[in-house]
């Protein structure tokens, strides 16, 4: 399994997770995971972290959806795990995503502040709309439009909370779902042959154990660059 390492020191390793790769097993399916890569390349991390119902999650302090690509941070020892876990819990980690959404947003910068619960119609889905079931948990997402046309907008997105499917659910709730989202926009066209969810974790900024702040970045996927060039041209991206 070939995975790009973006940053590494004695406490953490940051990777560029490919689209289509699940972070850890759900206990029901047998498929390659990021955890498999961790155990193959860093067997000493095996017992780092916390037990979650018998599912192996060595060094995993946050997740990306299967079809979301981009920066994923892995703790290499327990001290680092606890340090990172606390930052995520206290919302001190800054995460930036890039996304293509359908349509043109009325507000070019904004905050989506909508609690998220379970969808009433599909157990796989979350919802930030009327009729959401179960506990409604606070969820806040900031966004800025970087480029747009009548059909699609290219965004920078900063989730301030870390709910499951948060970005996808929030843009679905304001009627501009993520392009090529098979769960939240199943009838939407995958633009220009795009065959993946148009969501990429482009940057994570956090404090290291030694107190230094670091920003770990990854370039846009090639298919994102192709869309930008096709819609707006190289000089305007």
**Tell me, what's the pLDDT at 85?**
95
Among candidate residues 9, 36, 65, 217, the one labeled active-site is 65
Band (132; pLDDT cuts 50, 70, 90): confident
219, 211, 218: which is closest to 11 by C-alpha?
211
Q: Which helix (H) or strand (E) holds 125?
A: none
Cα 202 to Cα 217: distance, rounded to the nearest angstrom: 6
Residue 28 confidence (pLDDT): 67
Instruction: Quickly state the pLDDT bin for 237 (edges 50, 70, 90).
Output: very low
Q: For 148-198, how does the pLDDT look when each residue is reduced to its tens digit (9 = 90+)?
A: 999 999 999 999 999 999 999 999 999 999 999 999 999 998 987 799 999
Whether pLDDT at 129 is above 90: no
pLDDT at 113 over 90: yes
pLDDT of residue 234: 57
Q: Which letter does DSSP use for residue 173 in this model?
A: H
Non-local (6+) Cβ contacts of 155 within 8 A are 98, 99, 100, 101, 105, 143, 144, 145, 146
**Rounded to two decimals, what is the model's pTM?**
0.92
Our answer to whether residue 65 is catalytic in this structure is yes
> Which residue from 222, 202, 224, 204 is spatially nearest to 213, judged by alpha carbons?
204
């Amino acid at each position: 399994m070939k995975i790009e390492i973006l940053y590494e020191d004695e406490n953490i390793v940051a990777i560029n997770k490919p689209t289509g790769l699940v972070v850890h097993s759900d206990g029901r399916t047998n498929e390659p995971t990021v955890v498999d890569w961790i155990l193959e390349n860093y067997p000493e991390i095996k017992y780092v972290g916390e037990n979650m119902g018998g599912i192996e999650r060595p060094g995993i302090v946050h997740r990306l959806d299967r079809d979301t690509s981009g920066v994923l941070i892995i703790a290499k020892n327990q001290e680092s795990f606890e340090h990172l876990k606390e930052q995520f819990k206290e919302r001190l980690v800054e995460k930036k995503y890039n996304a293509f959404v359908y349509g043109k947003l009325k507000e070019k910068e904004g905050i989506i502040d909508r609690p998220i619960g379970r969808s009433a119609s599909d157990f796989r889905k979350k919802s930030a709309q009327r009729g959401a079931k179960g506990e409604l948990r606070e969820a806040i997402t900031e966004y800025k439009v970087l480029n747009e046309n009548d059909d699609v907008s290219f965004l920078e997105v900063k989730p301030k909370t870390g709910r499951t499917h948060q970005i996808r659910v929030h843009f679905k709730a304001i009627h501009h779902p993520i392009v090529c989202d098979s769960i939240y926009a199943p009838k939407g066209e995958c633009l220009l042959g795009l065959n993946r969810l148009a969501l990429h974790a482009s940057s994570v900024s956090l404090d290291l154990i030694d107190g230094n702040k670091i920003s770990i970045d990854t370039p846009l996927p090639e298919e994102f660059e192709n869309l930008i060039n096709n819609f707006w041209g190289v000089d305007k991206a």
